[in-house]
Amino acid sequence: MERTKRDFFSRPAAEQQEFLTQTWCDKCQQPDLGMTDPTEYAEGEKVLIEGKCCRCGEVVATELID
């Protein structure tokens, strides 16, 4: 499916902070480890924020339902 890049940094700071801290890492199997290098994109009906786990560096993604 096609991905359309969006500007994560145009979100309000408080919202950015929330997305950067409220994560789930599949590798660590733990919530809220945080992510770095966030990028946001739309894929079909979904909006995803993808970054790297603060602990292990694996890709973590948060899916938003609009």
Interface with Zn ion (CB under 5 A): 25, 27-28, 53, 55-56
The smaller minimum CB distance to Zn ion, of residues 33 and 48, is found at 33
Q: Give phi and psi for 28, each to the nearest 5.
A: -75, -20
Least gap, CB of 11 to Zn ion (angstroms): 23
What's the CA gap between 17 and 38, in Å, rounded? 11
Least gap, CB of 30 to Zn ion (angstroms): 7
What's the CA gap between 52 and 66, in Å, rounded? 23
Least gap, CB of 65 to Zn ion (angstroms): 23
